[in-house]
């Protein structure tokens, strides 16, 4: 009875709980939140000072008693309490236009594939403690495939490569399930670290994480570009301790990213090699889809296509594919229940036992 009562005053929401960014979809409305997964905490009072974009502005700029932290690392919860506060904040934000005094929505959350039961349970518990009355989990490549309208329920093989902030998920999907998959802890954050390491080793220049990410977005690439690009790297000279700036070009950044990109491509090839031949035939015909922020790395689709001999397409609006998928699931939860993962529900067997 209470669940029905809460349902009258709550809007069901879908959450792409990412290492770098969190996106929230509200049932019947659309995507209402797209903010960094960052929380600023005051250690003197134990209170949360800011969440999302406001907290990200504080990274590297806070006094000693305030720290801006990312409570998810490599796609999983590293700080349970802070994650709970962040989810609570986003649930309340999603309901701020309504008259709901105590929102208790049903929530669909995207999680990386191949996470442990403990990691899944941590996400469920954090969401329930934050105010969700029911929590459903879906693996991110499955959510992304649904979000970009691939025929996941049909007997057709589809490949999704989801390159996020903390993890890269590669999955072959057919008949509402993941047939084979790989989960790599190499993604956007690792590429940022590669640029930081390159600047330190090549130019004795210490870069901040945000600066490295800006350079990656500005001139980062995985394949030779038709026209050269340049950017200015600004940081601290490790020899003098003074500010220093260096002009770098796309070929240098491509060299910095080469090893991590090669690992991603290798994992894609291994996933294809482990796929049943009939599904490989489908994949050859339909190609593979790239989603997530990493899909925007220039030339990555061309490199994967050259290495795998399979047509590669960057999905439309790849950053929102997962959260759009959670939204589709919310709209038709009964018929898409079989794509869910986790422990908050029981799958209904296809045939009742006599």
What is the distance between the terminal CA atoms of the chain, rounded to a whole angstrom?
Answer: 32
| pLDDT attached to residue 349 | 36
| Gap between the Cα atoms of 249 and 282, Å rounded | 39
Location of each CATH 3.30.420.40 domain in the chain: 2-143+322-339, 151-186+258-318
Instruction: Please give the Cα distance from 342 to 346 (Å, whole number).
Output: 9
pLDDT of residue 43: 83
**pLDDT for 99:** 53
292: DSSP letter:
S
Please name which of 262, 270, 191, 223 lies closest in space to residue 19, comparing C-alpha atoms.
191
Residue 186: what pLDDT?
94
CATH 3.90.640.10 residue ranges for the chain: 188-257
CB–CB of 330/14 below 8 Å? yes
Give me the pLDDT at residue 56, please: 84
CA neighbours closer than 13 Å in the CB half-sphere of residue 1: 0
User: pTM value?
Assistant: 0.87
DSSP helix/strand/coil, 22: strand
Give the pLDDT of residue 128.
Answer: 93
Separation CA 136–CA 115 (nearest Å):
15
**What is the CATH topology of the domain spanning 151-186+258-318?**
Nucleotidyltransferase; domain 5 (3.30.420)
Q: DSSP string of 215-231?
A: HHHHH-BSS--SS--EE
- The per-residue pLDDT for 345 is 38
Burial of 60 (0-12, 13-18, 19+ CB in 10 A): exposed
Q: What is the pLDDT of residue 62?
A: 76
CA distance 332 to 338: 11
Residue that is written with structure tokens 């350079």 in the block? 215
Average pLDDT, consecutive stretches of 10 residues, N- to C-terminus, the chain (354 residues): 53 91 90 90 85 82 83 86 90 72 85 88 92 93 95 93 94 94 94 97 93 96 95 95 95 97 97 94 95 96 96 95 95 88 42 34
Question: What CATH number was assigned to the domain covering residues 2-143+322-339?
Answer: 3.30.420.40
Using left for φ > 0, alpha for ψ between -120 and 50, and beta otherwise, residue 211 falls in alpha
The reported pLDDT for the residue numbered 98 is 57
CATH 3.40.640.10 fits 188-257, yes or no: no
Distances in Å between the Cα of 349 and the Cα atoms of 337, 340, 352, 353 are: 12, 14, 7, 9
Neighbour tally for 223: CB within 10 Å:
16
Q: Give me the pLDDT at residue 68, please.
A: 85
- Report the pLDDT value the prediction gives residue 353, as an integer from 0 to 100: 36
* CA–CA separation, 52 and 91 (whole Å): 13
């Amino acid at each position: 009875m209470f669940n029905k009562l809460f349902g009258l005053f709550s809007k069901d929401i879908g959450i792409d709980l990412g290492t770098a960014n969190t996106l929230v979809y509200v049932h019947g409305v659309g995507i209402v939140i797209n903010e960094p997964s960052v929380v600023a905490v005051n250690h003197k009072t134990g209170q949360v000072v800011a969440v999302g974009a406001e907290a990200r502005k504080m990274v590297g700029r806070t006094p000693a008693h305030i720290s801006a932290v990312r409570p998810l690392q490599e796609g999983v919860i590293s700080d349970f309490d802070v994650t709970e506060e962040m989810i609570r904040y986003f649930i309340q934000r999603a309901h701020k236009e309504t008259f709901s005094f105590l929102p208790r929505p049903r929530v669909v959350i995207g999680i990386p594939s191949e996470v442990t039961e403990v990691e899944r349970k941590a996400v469920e518990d954090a969401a329930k403690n934050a105010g969700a009355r029911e929590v459903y989990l879906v693996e991110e490549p499955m959510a992304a495939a649904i979000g970009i309208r691939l025929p996941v329920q049909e007997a057709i093989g589809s490949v999704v490569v989801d390159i996020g902030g903390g993890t890269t998920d590669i999955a072959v999907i057919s008949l509402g399930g993941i047939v084979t998959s790989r989960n790599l802890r190499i993604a956007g954050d690792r590429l940022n670290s590669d640029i930081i390491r390159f600047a330190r080793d090549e130019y004795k220049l210490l870069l901040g994480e945000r600066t490295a990410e800006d350079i990656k977005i500005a001139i980062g690439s995985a394949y030779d570009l038709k026209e050269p690009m340049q950017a200015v790297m600004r940081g601290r000279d490790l020899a003098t301790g003074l500010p220093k700036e260096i002009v770098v070009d796309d070929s240098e950044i491509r060299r910095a990213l080469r090893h991590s990109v090669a690992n991603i491509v290798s994992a894609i090839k291994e996933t294809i090699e482990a796929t049943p031949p009939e599904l490989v035939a489908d994949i050859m015909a339909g190609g593979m889809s790239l989603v997530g922020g990493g899909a925007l790395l220039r030339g990555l689709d061309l490199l994967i296509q050259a290495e795998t001999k399979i047509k590669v397409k960057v999905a439309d609006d790849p950053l929102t594919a997962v959260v759009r998928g959670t939204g589709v699931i919310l709209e038709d939860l009964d018929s898409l229940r079989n794509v869910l993962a986790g422990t908050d529900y029981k799958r209904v067997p296809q045939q009742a036992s006599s």
